[in-house]
Amino acid sequence: MYNRTNTMSWEPLSFQDLTLAKSQKLTKKKITKNADKVEPKPEPKVIEVDNSVIEQQLAIIKQQAKEQAYQDGFNLGKEEGFNIGQQAGYEQGYAIGQQEGKAVIEQQLDAEKLKAVETIANLVSHFHTAINQIDDLIVPQLFDLALVAAQKTVGTISKVKQKQLMHTIKTLIDEGSMIIKSASLHLHPDDLLWIEPLLQDEIKQYHWQLVADTNVELGDCKIWTDTNQVDASNACHWQMMADCIQGENQ
């Protein structure tokens, strides 16, 4: 026996091939039988849906979407409004702060200006006061200095002093002889030496006495009576002159 699968080539037949061929035939038969026994699929059931329920659910979904959109819009508007309000508040606060700061600075400047004006006014017032005080202080001092200079100038001329002293004594004798009796004329000892010979007649006539007094300066004289004293010194004359001049200036 031989397996004639190809006219051109042949191979010896094996038992394994026979077994495999039989099992394939059996399998095909089983599949054919099972295919004949397959039951038909049941038809799908039709489910009835209530339209009101669907509409209700759609309404709920729409409401939820509306609320969500409202909330999102509210949050977004709130955020934008907050930002806008914050910016507006910042600008308003900045403007108010700038205005208040400017007002404070202007007040400080006004206060400083007023203080400066007051300081200048005080300086001017003090300056005038100082000038007046200088006049009150310096002018008398200058006057005293002039008197001292005049005294020194006159006092250094002996002949002038003698003539002045003689004139003073004669004036006192002429004016006081009618009311002053037994007066004593005090002179410096050096002045007494040269003036006594010149006044002998007047002294004897009016009963006056000449007294050498070391307390009396050269060129000065003093008259002593029982009731008072007449100072005819140059210092007294200069003081009287100064008082008169100052009184006229005032």
Residue-wise pLDDT tens digits, 105-160: 777 777 777 776 677 666 656 655 655 665 566 555 655 655 555 555 545 445 55
One domain, residues 144 and 118: yes
Q: Rounded mean pLDDT of the chain?
A: 68
**CB of 222 closer than 8 Å to CB of 228:** no
Q: Select from 133, 155, 177 the last residue of a domain.
A: 155
One domain, residues 151 and 175: no
* The pLDDT of residue 60: 86
* The pLDDT of residue 178: 47
Q: Select from 123, 139, 155 the last residue of a domain.
A: 155
Q: Do the domain assignments include residue 170? A: yes
Question: What's the pLDDT band for 1 if we cut at 50, 70, 90?
Answer: very low
More confident residue, 213 or 157: 213
Residue range 189-217: mean pLDDT, rounded: 83
One domain, residues 170 and 127: no
* The pLDDT of residue 157: 46
Percent of the chain exceeding pLDDT 90 equals 0
Say how far apart CA 116 and CA 110 lie, in whole Å. 10
* Domain limits for position 122: 98-155
| pLDDT per position as a tens digit, 32-78 | 555 455 556 666 665 665 677 777 888 888 888 888 888 888 788 77
pTM higher than 0.85? no
Residue range 95-110: mean pLDDT, rounded: 78
More confident residue, 129 or 203: 203
Residue range 157-171: mean pLDDT, rounded: 65
One domain, residues 142 and 185: no
